[in-house]
Amino acid sequence: MPGSLGVPEGGGEAAPVQVPEPNAEAAARLTDMGFPEAVARRALLLTRNRLDAATEWCLSFAITDSLMLFSLHLRRGFSKRTTAHPNLLKSCPM
């Protein structure tokens, strides 16, 4: 139905969703603090590039999030020696 969520007024196709890029300077600040680049980028995307909120997310949720992803990779047959996701392995305490 035109005008509803995701359907333009004219009834045509919806425009593609633009995924924002993480702020490069903020990402560099987070990696300087010791967070892996993948974690820094994810935190900035989740917090709309707000450095203070991204830092808080990294401190509060990054380890839990990374451990969850790591366990999924182990279930799929990846070993601890995999080179497919080095940032994931760096961020997991072993």
Specify the pLDDT at position 13.
78
Specify the pLDDT at position 17.
83
Instruction: Give long-range contacts, CB 8 A cutoff, 24+ apart: 18-25.
Output: 19/45, 20/45, 20/48, 20/49, 22/49, 23/49, 23/51
**For the chain, which ranges sit under pLDDT 50?**
82-85, 88-94
Q: Is the pTM of this model over 0.75?
A: no
- Exposure string of 43-59, with b = 16+ CB inside 10 Å and e = fewer, is bbeebebebeebbebbe
Given a contact cutoff of 8 angstroms between Cβ atoms, the answer to whether 63 and 91 are in contact is yes
Q: Could you tell me how far CA 48 lies from the centroid of its own chain?
A: 11
What gap in Å lies between CA 92 and CA 62, rounded to an integer? 9
Specify the pLDDT at position 76.
66
